[in-house]
Structure 1
Amino acid sequence: MKTAYFFVGLGIAYGFGCQGEMGSDGSGGETSSTGPTTPCCDTTGSGPGSGTAGTASTAGTSSTGSASTGTGGSEPLPCGDPTTFESGLTPSSEIHVATSGSDASGDGSAGNPYATIAHAASLATPGTSVVIHQGTYAGDTYLADYGGTEGAPIWIGGAQGEARPVVQGGANGFHLSGVRYLVLHDLEITGGEANGINCDDGGNVASEDATRWVVFRGLSIHDIGTGGNNDCLKLSGVNDFWVQRSDFARCGGGMSGSGIDHVGCHRGVVSHSTFVEMSGNGVQCKGGSTDIVVTANRFTEAGERAVNMGGSTGFEFFRPPLTNGENAEARRIHVLANVIEGGTAALGFVGCVDCLAANNTIIDPERWPLRILQETSTSSGGYTFLPASNGRVINNVVYYSASDVGGAHVNVGGDTDPGSFTFVSNLWFAHDDPGSSTPNLPVSEQGGIVGSDPGFVNAGGGDYHLAGGSPAIGAGSALPELSGDNDGNCYAAAPSVGAFEGNP
């Protein structure tokens, strides 16, 4: 049965966050890759919503001091917070895991725990919480055809109030294949050779239900891979999912690898997370991915493209499979209220159709604020692909160095349709030469603000809230897709420009 999930402050009773998708180990893999105002999702009431509570800690190196939050999620923010399938639920039973435990003689109680995550998880039934106590555990936990039910999910994660347990090494810290109603929470995952977590549909690329209803929250995934196309979180054919309050750092290398790589994923939300020192991308959505919201995150030196809407995918890895009609790398990816600092390019529209970048605060891209590209030929292998088209760029603050960007505000590649893009109410400020702030855009902008300092509270200290009197306050255009800002506060009816709502 499909369930409508309701979100605080949104006034929308379907599952996406609007106002008003195997990795290097060869399982489900893919080739590497570095509009309209309709809602960003289907209206069946089957998908997740935008935003989540909490502020992500610095992505990094240790679970020390990062206490697990337990089951059931957290208190909602004023605006943009989802209700997921786990919200308000509590486990009916617990199975405990500790480094001092024994799979042979333990019984899974708190006083006599098991030793390995895999053994404990294999005994879990719907409604069970697998409670992993602090310590270091081996990677390569594999779970297939596994999960709970709508009213009784399975939780796997750290013990509430303890430091996050560390999952170290292996090809993948976790490999999840064909899972449903599963919550993976409060874990530190590091040292995997292929990916931190690999979650896929088991190669069942035509099935909507193969892997569905999954929450990833309170995770720290860092220092993954062997210097190539390795991801912190690899999602292939995952539908109806949330990634919340998690930290991703240093996955991949050689301009490849992502914090989160979606291949043929649908109806998901990535929110209130951090992406630090990535090589390829912070977040990538390709391979037929649709209806994914990337909102209220912070990207710091997140690679070649902090958010890559689209990309390049081997034809056999598209979900759903390619058709004889018009295909696309991605559709309806919405990037909202994020802070993006540094990196080669902030945002890529790469074979993406009907995608939206709104209310982001973009700080000092090394080369391009935006790219419009086509990496999958529009006529390739007997298939037809739509070009990157119908993108919307609205209410963003672009605060940059003219000496770095020059006149390349938007890098436009061949076989794209830049004339179909719209630019509305963006603020452009070259802080080293305000007189050079006029952007070079593929189409004329409506209501842009050029050459005015956005008035951050402390730009040098990384505080991009708007000080009183900022020209960005109330200067944006209303969007039905908007709900919460980067802090989870509601945008005004006349929203501010950028990732933070301001007070006049």
Structure 2
Amino acid sequence: MRAFLLLCLMSCPVGAEVVVVKNTAELRAALGKLAKGDILKIGPGEYAADLHVAGIGDLTVEALDATAPPHFKGGKQAWHFSRCEGLKLRHVKCSGQSANGINLDDGGKREDPVKGILLEGVEVSDIGPKGNFDAIKCSGLQGLRIKDCTISGWGGQAIDLVGCSESVIEGCTITGKEGYSQHTGPQFKGGCRDITIRNCVLKNAGERPIQAGGSTGLDYFRPPGVKYEAKDIIIRDNTIEGGMCATAFTGVDGAEFTGNKIVNPEKWVFRVLQETKEEGFAPCRNVKIAGNEIRFLREKVGAEVNVGGGTAVETFRFEGNTWVATDRPERSKPKLPVEEVAGKYGE
């Protein structure tokens, strides 16, 4: 351990420190003294929640032992980081919060995104349980990366991105629970652009397991004045099982849905919606759905695509998807709003 701490000290920026805490009192005392570049290592055990850090750049908060993560229980929010550019949050566990598990934001400076945040190996569970309460809430972030995280049981969104850009969610496992309202899994809205979600597993992850777009009050868009809920969203190589549908495209201006595996959605496979209808906003459009494996029960799925008003569904493209109604293979061919190219049915 001593050699490990010496190595951390050697890797710190000049003037930064490695701080080790092992209980809630030590942690709260340390939070008031943190400075740019510090590494805060938290020992195993249970900790009180409602922790707030603001304006500290290049901060690392992580488990002292990644195999025994500290557990932040109860409270309103486990952690709230505001304008912490370059933050790295690794190997912590949060559960039982009544509002959000982890909240990351730009401090309300909607024209000045916070850059370079990493969440890795974070576990969040049992948030809410009902209402608009998120496991991970992110507002006004650029270059965010959420990697190898586990989320189970939440009220509103599993991961809520509002006005975020150039960001990636990868390798995460997101699972719904009985007794939680779980409106969506990962959601990208409020001016999000260039967001990728890949190699994730979503099981029973709410009414809309992935939502590209959404419905956002105009005062929350980032940057102010943008005229789309989401733009250039990539959903690739995920497994999506259950949920009311697999993915909802809701006021998105350009998206790709490729290489995914869909298993047994409850009512539809996709939804195409327009919930933000203010003047000048782009209709839901320009979505490519290609190379996916889609398995469903014809007994449950009557319409493969639910299309709402005010959308430009004629701009969607379906190419090379495999559709299998496992209970009625002969009825596998979907009724789509546009003709599919090179689709495979019942194989």
TM-score, normalised to structure 2, is 0.92
Paired residue for 2:18? 94
CA contact (8 A) 1:332 1:353 kept: yes
- Deviation string 1:267-325 (CA, Å, 9 cap, x unpaired) is 110000011016111100000100110000000000011100000000100001125xx
CA distance, structure 2, for counterparts of residue 180 and residue 168 of structure 1 = 25
Letter in structure 1 aligned against 2:34: A
Paired residue for 1:267? 166
Is the aligned partner of 1:139 residue 2:49?
A: yes
- Deviation string 1:145-180 (CA, Å, 9 cap, x unpaired) is 1112xxxxx210111354111011222101111110
Letter in structure 2 aligned against 1:138: A
CA distance, structure 2, for counterparts of residue 161 and residue 273 of structure 1 = 17
CA distance, structure 2, for counterparts of residue 390 and residue 438 of structure 1 = 23
Paired residue for 2:90? 185
- Deviation string 1:95-143 (CA, Å, 9 cap, x unpaired) is 00102x8x5xxxxxxxxxxx22x43233333442211000111111111
1:290 maps to which of 185, 189, 193 = 193
Paired residue for 1:391? 287
CA distance, structure 2, for counterparts of residue 165 and residue 91 of structure 1 = 22
Paired residue for 1:312? 215
Structure 2: gaps (5+ residues): none
Paired residue for 2:112? 207
Paired residue for 2:231? 331
Is the aligned partner of 1:120 residue 2:16?
A: no
Paired residue for 1:376? 276
CA contact (8 A) 2:35 2:56 kept: no
- Deviation string 1:169-210 (CA, Å, 9 cap, x unpaired) is 2221011111101101100001111100111111111223xx
2:306 maps to which of 386, 404, 411 = 411
Give the number of equivalent residue pairs. 333
1:244 maps to which of 147, 150, 154 = 147
CA distance, structure 1, for counterparts of residue 69 and residue 45 of structure 2 = 8
Map residues 333-482 of structure 1 onto 2, 5 A cutoff.
Answer: 333-377=233-277, 380=278, 383-406=279-302, 408-452=303-347
Paired residue for 2:184? 281
CA contact (8 A) 1:134 1:162 kept: no
CA contact (8 A) 1:354 1:389 kept: yes
Letter in structure 2 aligned against 1:348: A
1:232 maps to which of 135, 138, 145 = 135
Structure 1: gaps (5+ residues): 1-69, 72-88, 104-114, 149-153, 453-504
Shift of 1:226: 4.4
State the SS of the aligned residue for 2:143: strand
CA distance, structure 1, for counterparts of residue 300 and residue 29 of structure 2 = 53
CA contact (8 A) 1:170 1:191 kept: yes
Identity score, percent:
35
CA distance, structure 1, for counterparts of residue 11 and residue 343 of structure 2 = 49
CA distance, structure 2, for counterparts of residue 291 and residue 212 of structure 1 = 14
Question: Over aligned residues, Cα RMSD in angstroms?
Answer: 1.7
Map residues 63-74 of structure 1 onto 2, 5 A cutoff.
Answer: none
Query: Larger relative contact order (C-alpha < 8 A, sep ≥ 6)?
Result: 1
